[in-house]
Structure 1
Amino acid sequence: MEQIAQWIAGRPQASSDAAFLPVHDPVHGKPYAYCPRGSSDDVDAAVAAARAAYPAWSRMSGSQRAQWLNRLADAIEVRSEAFSQCESRDTGKPLALVRDIEIPRAIANFRFFAAACTQSLDQAFHQEAGLNYTLHQPLGVVGVISPWNLPLYLLTWKLAPALAAGNCVIAKPSEITPMSADLLARTAQEIGFPAGVLNIVQGSGETVGAALVSHLDVKAISFTGSTTVGHRIAAVCADQFKKVTLEMGGKNPALVFQDAPAHTLQTLVRAAFQNSGQICLCGSRILIHRDIYADFKKAFVTAASNLKIGAPSDPGTQLGPVMSEPHFRKVLSYIAMAREEGGSILCGGDAVSPSGYEGWFIAPTVIENLPMDSRFCQDEIFGPVVSLHAFDDDDQALALANASRYGLAASVWTNDLARAHRMAAEIECGIVWINTWMQRDLRTPFGGMKDSGFGREGGMEALKFFTEPKTVCIGTLPNG
């Protein structure tokens, strides 16, 4: 089986810890590769390489860094089929989903921030108190920690602005899905990307992640993952006064009103079950006006039941497995909990073995008759499971939507423009979609409220995070 390495100073290196972690194929439930367990020594080596590369990289002009990011985007595009096959095998996702959406979005991340870094954040002011101008300078060495659900897509979402701003980066991908990060590092080496600017350190969160977050020479951490881990990272960064942005969990409501447009049902089925529900933006609490509840429920359950579960290589597959055995058991335990809490299973509710595959497949599951304060409706489950709830009026819909400790995303389905604006203003979350889902303009800020996050990514917000503003004042009047 393949064994991947650490990528430090532009070349593959053996980990100082000789142990390896198995990388599983979720379709078959068996290991097919090995990832280094990693150690704090690996992080130290990567930080040293990044510090050595930093002066030259940070002194490049924005247009020079843009050329490198575009070259990397070009190289990924040339190898897009290899990246798609790699990501699909590592995650169990339908190949079409990876090929058509996730790899193109990873490429777009590099291209967007290549363009953005040629546009200055700096400003100048005069007349009030001398001549003042601001510099937005890179921080130095920064760390990015990305999750297992969208491995390359979310890794590049962090890497691209950090590099564009002039920082050198230590990236820690998930040990569950490490393979596309390794392919990215190999691709960077092949095009001669400056050594030490981009370092990939593989390993567990307990070793590599903790060492990266606590390292005194790492000036910022950008993290996407669970709220539990995010809390721990925030505490360490606060103790060091280290910059941090956290994109964490979600329990996202979808509000369906009587005048919802015709495409609502089809889009919400996708919003609930795409990537087997393993997207932080999935709509997992579907709130439906009581006047249309029965009809909408029937149609939604029928559509969910008809989703094809299967292997990623099958062009007809719409749902693959969940990505690890512990997560598989977690999702099934929540379904069992819903039964205990009095929920009615309308479809799904069980593990399945499509076409004889023995991996971690769970049927799309729809549940009703649960109170909003049940654990099933409050905890982020992150699987192909949703709950349905009826509401009687706008105020109740809003109250149910906000009855969560999370505040990442929501969608509102109505043709009433005044209602749409009111809901968007009063729902407590970082992004509200009106009559759509997962449309993203990379110029806009992205992040959550409450237990869903701290800080914002995307657009100029990301470049601001990865830089430090400095004001320079030139006196134009005599002192005193």
Structure 2
Amino acid sequence: MISVEGVQVDPRHWIGGRRISADRTFPDISPIDEVFLGDIAAGGASEVDAAVAAARSAFPTWAALSAVERGAILRRVADGIDERREDLARVETRDNGSLLRSHRRGVMPRVAMNFRFFADYAEKLSHPDLDVRGHRERITYDPAGVTAIITPWNAPLMLATWRIGPALAAGNTVVLKPPEWAPLTASLLADIAHEAGLPAGVFNVVQGTGAEAGAPLTRHPGINRLSFTGSVPTAGVIAAAAAPNIVPLSFELGGKSPLLVFGDCDLDLAVDLAVEQFDNAGQVCLGAFRMLVQQSIAEEFQARVVARARALVLGDPRDEKTDVSALVSRPHFDRVSGFVARALTGGARAVLGGGPNAELGGLYFSPTILVDAKPGSEILTEEVFGPVLTIQTFADEDEGVRMANETRFGLAATLVTGSSSRAERVSARLDAGTVWVNCFFVRDLGAPFGGNGKSGIGREGGTYSFDFYCDVKNTVFSPNGWKESSHG
């Protein structure tokens, strides 16, 4: 066991309802102060084989339960998450550097909701029968089998349970490979699920790196669904590995989303939405980091955003006053620093920040706003995944839409305007899986979520999740050929 913020966390794998030790380990380092937290079990092909075998063994019994029976267990898991909300919040803050106040108030309640919502949804899931020339067609949602889930470090528990919840509610069993940069809350979830009565083998956790644990999981012939959240290059490797087994994939990948601000907008609202993009130190895939502002208000918008962002408090995420914390790891910090340095060398100008925070040191990167970047340059086209915004200007609606869509990504877009007719026109023209109009990050769990272009494959949420995690069956009944009498 290792102690993190006074919470005991087991660093071993969870396979088949028991803890499994490992011959090899990898270090877990906190981004807050780069302190060593503990050695984590490093899994490989043998652990993946064992986890998939356990999941396959548990599948028939779990799948045979009714949605109501499965839902009762999943709601107990949600209750356990609520009971341990403070432990989960403190551990994840220490592990990935996100704000403790955010974990307490928003993230961990959402983790519990991921189980409750999909447990409820599965119980009501149905499709009306169809009638075709007197034949009755019945559509049903059958459990698919073993689901492999690989999740990122920026919101590890929330993004994992966003997939685990519907997969289990659908009757599947799960093998989770958590992120090596923030693995700890996945282990706590295994404890909570076990205490809630989730049968052995239904949920398994294999710790490890992508190369050693993720790779054998993605190519394993025993998995039936694969959900991955992460980068575009890694998704390409995963897709190639899964292809020989014809495994259905759900990918939530990167983004380079625009914040499109028109001259007729509520400027206070636009500034609020712009500054909100510094949440989680910019380590948010759907963040709107490209500020596209109509020329008539660009000067005032820039001045106000810079002033507001300059007032953000950079520091320890455990302090309630902190607004922006550290980046997750030294390699990622160097990556973000490289993006900004190359942009500045290439002619961009920093009107705020522009580099590491000299006072704090460590992995703290100053909130940064860049202007004058050359069209098509790296800083405008590639995902930085850090606290770095760019500002560009446009003359009219057509140019604004064109600039917004000049990206290979299409995860999200945010539009700020005071005109309802413009909102309808522009939102229809934006190439994105989700468009927010005069708001940001508002979404019901029943709504579809996913990206266009290089931002992913498929949609999840509500029925869309069950379309993926289930085998959807159509059974056609003829009105003819029955031998029994009308009395049965």
Structure 1 segment 24-423 matched on structure 2, within 5 A: 24-261=29-266, 262-270=268-276, 272-352=277-357, 358-423=361-426
The reply on whether 1:472 has 2:475 as its aligned counterpart is: yes
Distance 1:374 1:135, change over 3 A: same
- TM-score, with structure 1 as normaliser: 0.96
For the residue of structure 2 that corresponds to 1:283, the secondary structure is coil
For the residue of structure 1 that corresponds to 2:289, the secondary structure is strand
Residue deviations 1:164-208 (CA, integer Å, cap 9, x gap): 000000011101100110111111122232111010111111121
Please state how far the C-alpha of 1:379 moved relative to its aligned partner: 0.5
Equivalenced residue count is 474
Larger CA deviation: 373-382 vs 130-139: 130-139
Q: Which of residues 444, 454, 460 is equivalent to 1:441?
A: 444
Mapped to 2, the partners of 1:400 and 1:237 lie a distance apart of 35
Please state how far the C-alpha of 1:472 moved relative to its aligned partner: 1.5
C-alpha contact 2:125 2:463 (8 A) present in aligned 1: no
Mapped to 2, the partners of 1:301 and 1:245 lie a distance apart of 38
C-alpha contact 1:444 1:458 (8 A) present in aligned 2: yes
Please state how far the C-alpha of 1:10 moved relative to its aligned partner: 1.6
**2:20 corresponds to:** 13
Please state how far the C-alpha of 1:353 moved relative to its aligned partner: 5.2
C-alpha contact 2:89 2:104 (8 A) present in aligned 1: yes
Mapped to 1, the partners of 2:430 and 2:461 lie a distance apart of 21
- Alignment-mate amino acid for residue 143 of structure 1: A
The reply on whether 1:461 has 2:468 as its aligned counterpart is: no
**2:485 corresponds to:** none
C-alpha contact 1:136 1:470 (8 A) present in aligned 2: yes
Mapped to 1, the partners of 2:173 and 2:12 lie a distance apart of 20
Mapped to 2, the partners of 1:127 and 1:345 lie a distance apart of 64
Mapped to 2, the partners of 1:392 and 1:129 lie a distance apart of 59
Mapped to 2, the partners of 1:129 and 1:177 lie a distance apart of 56
Mapped to 1, the partners of 2:122 and 2:38 lie a distance apart of 37
C-alpha contact 2:163 2:227 (8 A) present in aligned 1: yes
Mapped to 2, the partners of 1:166 and 1:195 lie a distance apart of 14
C-alpha contact 1:122 1:136 (8 A) present in aligned 2: no
Please state how far the C-alpha of 1:126 moved relative to its aligned partner: 2.8
- Alignment-mate amino acid for residue 341 of structure 1: G
Mapped to 2, the partners of 1:243 and 1:129 lie a distance apart of 34
- Alignment-mate amino acid for residue 435 of structure 1: N
Mapped to 1, the partners of 2:77 and 2:182 lie a distance apart of 21
Mapped to 1, the partners of 2:97 and 2:131 lie a distance apart of 57
- Alignment-mate amino acid for residue 131 of structure 2: H
Mapped to 2, the partners of 1:105 and 1:353 lie a distance apart of 35
Distance 1:353 1:53, change over 3 A: farther
- Alignment-mate amino acid for residue 346 of structure 1: V
- Alignment-mate amino acid for residue 268 of structure 1: A
Mapped to 1, the partners of 2:273 and 2:376 lie a distance apart of 26
Where in structure 2 are there 5+ consecutive unaligned residues? 3-9, 483-488
Runs of at least 4 residues off by over 6 Å? none
Larger CA deviation: 26-35 vs 428-437: 26-35
Please state how far the C-alpha of 1:129 moved relative to its aligned partner: 4.8
For the residue of structure 1 that corresponds to 2:441, the secondary structure is coil
Mapped to 1, the partners of 2:473 and 2:100 lie a distance apart of 46
Larger CA deviation: 189-198 vs 69-78: 189-198
Mapped to 1, the partners of 2:65 and 2:264 lie a distance apart of 54
For the residue of structure 2 that corresponds to 1:33, the secondary structure is strand
The reply on whether 1:451 has 2:454 as its aligned counterpart is: yes
C-alpha contact 2:369 2:390 (8 A) present in aligned 1: yes
Mapped to 2, the partners of 1:173 and 1:227 lie a distance apart of 18
Mapped to 2, the partners of 1:21 and 1:96 lie a distance apart of 29
C-alpha contact 2:99 2:317 (8 A) present in aligned 1: yes
- Alignment-mate amino acid for residue 265 of structure 1: V
For the residue of structure 2 that corresponds to 1:326, the secondary structure is helix
Q: Which of residues 410, 428, 433 is equivalent to 1:430?
A: 433
Mapped to 1, the partners of 2:358 and 2:60 lie a distance apart of 54
Where in structure 1 are there 5+ consecutive unaligned residues? none
Mapped to 2, the partners of 1:477 and 1:158 lie a distance apart of 42
C-alpha contact 2:259 2:288 (8 A) present in aligned 1: yes
C-alpha contact 2:73 2:196 (8 A) present in aligned 1: no
- Alignment-mate amino acid for residue 388 of structure 1: I
Mapped to 2, the partners of 1:391 and 1:44 lie a distance apart of 54
C-alpha contact 2:260 2:400 (8 A) present in aligned 1: yes
Mapped to 2, the partners of 1:441 and 1:475 lie a distance apart of 39
Distance 1:395 1:47, change over 3 A: same
- Alignment-mate amino acid for residue 430 of structure 2: I
Mapped to 1, the partners of 2:260 and 2:29 lie a distance apart of 37
CA RMSD after TM alignment: 1.4
Mapped to 1, the partners of 2:409 and 2:132 lie a distance apart of 46
- TM-score, with structure 2 as normaliser: 0.95
Mapped to 2, the partners of 1:149 and 1:183 lie a distance apart of 17
- Alignment-mate amino acid for residue 297 of structure 1: Q
C-alpha contact 1:372 1:400 (8 A) present in aligned 2: no
Mapped to 2, the partners of 1:238 and 1:426 lie a distance apart of 33
For the residue of structure 2 that corresponds to 1:117, the secondary structure is helix
Mapped to 1, the partners of 2:12 and 2:215 lie a distance apart of 19
For the residue of structure 2 that corresponds to 1:352, the secondary structure is coil
